[in-house]
């Protein structure tokens, strides 16, 4: 198969049969208890969602169709240029089909996305241009995505009764690919809204990869129209594109229960189209306990740096952290609902910086980020509340983008939002392949809970 759709068509019949048979045989198997604590505690630990692309181990972190980040870095195709990171396009292929694509397949998907993403719908352009410049970029992204539902092939064909349930996945795939392809222009439009009076900062090219287009439209590559607003030299420009590839390649998915993925899945289960479903996911990603932590970490590091005399003074960092904790605030970028070890995505971002010592050795914020990853776990352990005192995914990323010149703190989570589209939307396609029903758990009031304990 050369196209993603052809590759998917090859695997669908066998997987459909396998799941149908599995359900028929094991449908009544009890998989675990649901406790009162989990009902009142964010459903933590409930194994109650089907999610194919990624799985999360508390000790070892995320696996993409069974592959660790390291294995992805070794096996997923990139540009073919030595030292370049794998392309998120190949991750998209992996998540959707379950197989590592060849270089040829990756290139074909790269071309397909670049073609699909060459223009934003006119109405979306108009809507985005009208938004107040100071509106939060995540709100702008959610609005932009929701506005694209006007062109949803799935919504139109469903409305007109033109597709049967077995084929819902076809239009869902079409919309999902169009949505993912539109993200470079959408993101660029939002960034130019907040930094450049809405005037474009770079060019879109149909001959390049998804991340190169994102970087160009942020004005961060040598070819950018803005005459490179951040004055990166050519090595830095290449590094920035690779940082973007690494970041957007590994933030795609974190199994199904995280807020953005779960929301996309939930909304999609009502047969809302992919634009509406992922726009809702973006609204969830915009919460400070979830993706917005990417922005909060940078704010936190900058503030701390202006309050301590040196990154070397560990006691000052500790004091600062205690002040935050004693005022009932959280330390952004630390802790996790599932992970119980440092997030391997954090480690991958840190390694990106460590591989470029000359670039980062004088950046006080990056040095503090590194130092904090040693000091904060000790403080959080002493504090004794957080079940995981280690750095999570958001701990390192924003400050690296900041280093290269993306200084608008509120914007960082939009980059997260570009990446996260890939996981939940590939799952949405599979939800439709498998005909999963509308999600509708049972809720209980207090009397209902008491009744469960047989207290009354
Ligand atoms: N700083 C201070 N307190 C914390 C932290 C932290 N980083 N992490 C957890 N706690 C507290 C938490 O608020 C809770 O307190 P209380 O009992 O008073 O409500 C207690 O420790 C137990 O929480 P956990 O069970 O360890 O964590 P939970 O699963 O509820 O929440 C997070 C997970 C990620 C929401 C939480 O660790 C947190 O708020 N971290 C900071 C925000 C952050 O970095 N979020 C980004 C997560 C990654 N992402 O992109 O989504
Ligand atoms: C994510 O990437 O979604 C976060 O680590 C949060 C989570 O997994 O709950």
Pairwise CA distance, residues 145 & 279, whole Å: 6
Angle in degrees, 0-180, between the axes of helices 293-305 and 394-404, rounded to the nearest 10: 70
350 within domain boundaries: yes
Does this model's pTM top 0.90? My answer is yes
Atom of ligand 2 nearest to the CA of 343: 5
Distance of CA 438 to the CA centre of its chain: 24
Pairwise CA distance, residues 180 & 112, whole Å: 11
Task: Decide: 361 in ligand 1 pocket, CB within 6 A.
Answer: no
Cross-strand pairs, 57: 61
CATH number for the domain spanning 392: value is 1.10.230.10
Sequence-distant (6+) residues with CB within 8 A of 292 are: 138, 285, 286, 413
Hey, how many other C-beta atoms are within 10 angstroms of the C-beta on 269? Answer: 17
Indicate left, alpha or beta for 335 from its phi (over 0: left) and psi (-120 to 50: alpha). left
Mean local confidence (pLDDT), 36-65: 97
Q: What pLDDT shows up at residue 228?
A: 46
Q: Please, which pLDDT band fits residue 221 given cuts at 50, 70 and 90?
A: confident
Contact 350, 370 (CB under 8 A): yes
Candidates 254, 262, 265, 336; catalytic one: 336
Task: Decide: 261 in ligand 1 pocket, CB within 6 A.
Answer: no
Tell me the two tokens of residue 285.
């990603």
Tell me the two tokens of residue 331.
């330390």
Pairwise CA distance, residues 178 & 115, whole Å: 9
- 262 pLDDT higher than 80: yes
Mean local confidence (pLDDT), 377-384: 98
Sequence-distant (6+) residues with CB within 8 A of 250 are: 62, 69, 72, 345, 348, 419
What is the domain extent for residue 364? 293-404
Is 251 in the active site? no
- 82 pLDDT higher than 90: no
Atom of ligand 1 nearest to the CA of 335: 37
Q: Which residue has the higher pLDDT, 2 or 444?
A: 444
Q: What pLDDT shows up at residue 226?
A: 55
Q: Domain count of the chain?
A: 1
Q: What pLDDT shows up at residue 231?
A: 80
Tell me the two tokens of residue 336.
């996790």
106 within domain boundaries: no
Q: What pLDDT shows up at residue 229?
A: 58
116 within domain boundaries: no
Cross-strand pairs, 55: 63
Sequence-distant (6+) residues with CB within 8 A of 408 are: 137, 191, 194, 195
Tell me the two tokens of residue 374.
């040693």
Mean local confidence (pLDDT), 406-426: 98
Is 290 in the active site? yes
Task: Classify strands 61-64 and 54-57 as parallel, antiparallel or unpaired.
Answer: antiparallel
Pairwise CA distance, residues 199 & 223, whole Å: 16
365 within domain boundaries: yes
> Which secondary-structure segment (H or E) carries 422?
helix 422-433
Pairwise CA distance, residues 454 & 198, whole Å: 61
Is 336 in the active site? yes
3-state SS assignment for residue 20:
helix
Q: Residues lining ligand 2, CB < 6 A?
A: 254, 258, 336-338, 392-393
- 45 pLDDT higher than 50: yes
- Phi and psi torsions of 54, nearest 5°: -135, 155
344 within domain boundaries: yes
Pairwise CA distance, residues 342 & 381, whole Å: 13
Mean local confidence (pLDDT), 424-436: 98
| pLDDT tens readout for residues 311-354 | 999 999 999 999 999 999 999 999 999 999 999 999 999 999 99
- Phi and psi torsions of 436, nearest 5°: -65, 145
Mean local confidence (pLDDT), 88-105: 98
Sequence-distant (6+) residues with CB within 8 A of 287 are: 259
């Amino acid at each position: 198969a050369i196209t993603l759709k052809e590759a998917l068509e090859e695997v669908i019949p066998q997987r459909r049969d396998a799941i149908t048979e599995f359900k028929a045989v094991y449908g009544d198997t009890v998989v675990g208890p649901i406790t009162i604590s989990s009902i009142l505690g964010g459903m933590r630990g409930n194994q109650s969602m089907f999610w194919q692309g990624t799985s999360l181990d508390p000790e070892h972190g995320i696996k993409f169709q069974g592959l660790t980040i390291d294995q992805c870095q070794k096996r997923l195709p990139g540009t073919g240029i030595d030292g370049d990171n794998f392309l998120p396009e190949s991750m998209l292929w992996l998540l959707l089909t379950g197989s590592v694509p060849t270089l040829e397949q990756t290139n074909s998907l790269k071309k397909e996305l670049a073609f699909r993403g060459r223009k934003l719908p006119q109405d979306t352009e108009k809507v985005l241009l009208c938004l107040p410049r100071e509106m939060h970029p995540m709100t702008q992204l959610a609005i932009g995505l929701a506005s694209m539902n006007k062109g949803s092939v799935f919504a139109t064909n469903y409305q007109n009764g033109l597709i049967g349930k077995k084929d819902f996945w076809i239009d869902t795939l079409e919309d999902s690919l169009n949505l993912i392809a539109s993200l470079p222009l959408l993101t660029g439009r939002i960034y130019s809204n907040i930094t450049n009076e809405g005037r474009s900062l770079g060019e879109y090219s149909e001959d390049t990869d998804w991340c190169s287009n994102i970087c160009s439209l942020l004005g961060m590559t040598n070819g950018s129209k803005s005459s490179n607003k951040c004055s990166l030299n050519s090595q830095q420009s290449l590094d920035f594109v690779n940082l973007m590839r690494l970041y957007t390649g590994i933030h795609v998915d974190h199994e199904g229960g995280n807020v953005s993925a779960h929301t996309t899945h939930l909304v999609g289960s009502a047969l809302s189209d992919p634009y509406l479903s992922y726009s809702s996911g973006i609204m969830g990603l915009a919460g400070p306990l979830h993706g917005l932590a990417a922005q909060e970490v940078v704010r936190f590091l900058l503030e701390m740096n202006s309050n301590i005399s040196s990154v070397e003074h560990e006691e000052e960092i500790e004091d600062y952290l205690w002040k935050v904790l004693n005022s009932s605030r959280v330390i952004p970028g630390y802790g996790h609902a599932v992970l119980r070890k440092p997030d391997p995505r954090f480690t991958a971002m840190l390694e990106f910086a460590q591989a470029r010592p000359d670039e980062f050795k004088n950046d006080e914020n990056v040095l503090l980020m590194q130092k904090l990853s040693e000091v904060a776990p000790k403080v959080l352990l002493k504090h004794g509340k957080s079940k995981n005192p280690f750095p999570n995914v958001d701990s390192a990323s924003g400050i690296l983008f900041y280093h290269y010149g993306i200084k608008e703190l509120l914007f960082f989570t939009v980059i997260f939002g570009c990446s996260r589209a890939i996981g939940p939307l590939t799952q949405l396609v599979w939800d439709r392949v498998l005909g999963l029903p509308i999600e509708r758990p049972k809720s209980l009031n207090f009397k209902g809970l008491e009744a469960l304990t047989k207290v009354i």
